[in-house]
Amino acid sequence: MPRRRILLVDDHPFMRAGLGQLIDRQTDMAVCGEAGNPAEAFAQLEKTKPELVLTDLTMPGRSGLEFVKDLRALDPTLLVLVVSMHDEAVYAERALRAGARGYIMKEAGGENLLAAIRQILRGEMYVSPRMSARILEGLSTARPRGSSSPIEKLTDREFEVFQLIGQGKSTRDIAEQLHLSPKTVDVHRSNIKEKLELRDATALIRHAVRWVETQQVDS
């Protein structure tokens, strides 16, 4: 049988090289192309015609979540597996809602990654057993959805703005990066403050910076 075609999207060349070697050693799958950012990935899609896109979430030029949404809008049959260093407890459900068929952390190792790829190529979805249990618990009536963390109350766009605030970006910087107007960014900032129950802009910045630093330590 022909080997299944996989497109790698990651801004770290060493990461792409490692993934490529791992996948190309398999008899049932092969790397058909590589890209360092979403713009390069879209250019590769028509040429390589992958069945599955293996993508990171943090890349230059575009939000990873928005990239997943764009891929699914472009081709609803295209399978997407997110491979990220970011904590699945924060990002996995967002990635699945964006249209990904699975989420796996980079620390999971090669064998688990190959198992995840094969599971998705079979038409199934993939998250770790821990994340699967968490999602099922979230659907239970015993615990209201999103009650575990105030961050989960944020929409994907608000979440992106929150992350960029934590990285020290100004309203103008955020507007340019997300292709929004400064006024729209201010609306998102206001909504974030309300949802996280923060009294002013200073409290928002402090909270966002602490959250980003925590994510970096965990990863």
Cα gap 22→126, rounded to integer Å: 19
pLDDT tens profile 49-93: 999 999 998 887 677 888 999 998 899 999 999 998 877 888 888
Residue 138 pLDDT grade (very low, low, confident, very high; cuts 50, 70, 90): low
pLDDT tens profile 36-53: 999 999 999 989 999 999
Residue 163 pLDDT grade (very low, low, confident, very high; cuts 50, 70, 90): confident
CA distances 20 to 15, 34, 57, 122, 197, Å, are 8, 9, 18, 20, 45
On whether the pTM is more than 0.85, the answer is no
pLDDT score, position 151: 84
Cα gap 154→160, rounded to integer Å: 9
pLDDT score, position 139: 65
109 Ramachandran zone, left/alpha/beta (phi>0; psi -120 to 50): left
Which class for 124: exposed (0-12), middle (13-18), buried (19 or more C-beta within 10 A)? exposed
CATH code linked to domain 4-138: 3.40.50.2300
On the question of pLDDT at 144 being above 60, the answer is no
* Mean pLDDT across 162-180: 89
CB 59 within 8 A of CB 10: yes
Query: In the chain, pLDDT over 90 holds for what percent of residues?
Result: 50
Q: Which tokens is 192 given?
A: 């974030």
From 3.40.50.170, 1.10.760.10, 1.10.10.10, 3.90.1150.10, which CATH number describes the 150-218 domain?
Answer: 1.10.10.10
Strand order in the sheet with 79-84: 29-35, 4-9, 52-55, 79-84, 102-105
Cα gap 75→33, rounded to integer Å: 17
pLDDT tens profile 177-205: 888 899 999 999 999 999 998 989 888 99
**Domain ranges within the chain, ordered by starting residue:** 4-138, 150-218
CB 104 within 8 A of CB 120: no
Residue 148 pLDDT grade (very low, low, confident, very high; cuts 50, 70, 90): low
Highest mean pLDDT among 30-39, 145-154, 193-202: 30-39
Cα gap 98→80, rounded to integer Å: 10
Computed over every residue of the chain, the mean pLDDT equals: 87
CA distances 207 to 51, 56, 188, 204, Å, are 40, 25, 15, 5
pLDDT tens profile 86-136: 778 888 888 998 899 999 998 999 999 999 999 999 999 999 988 888 777
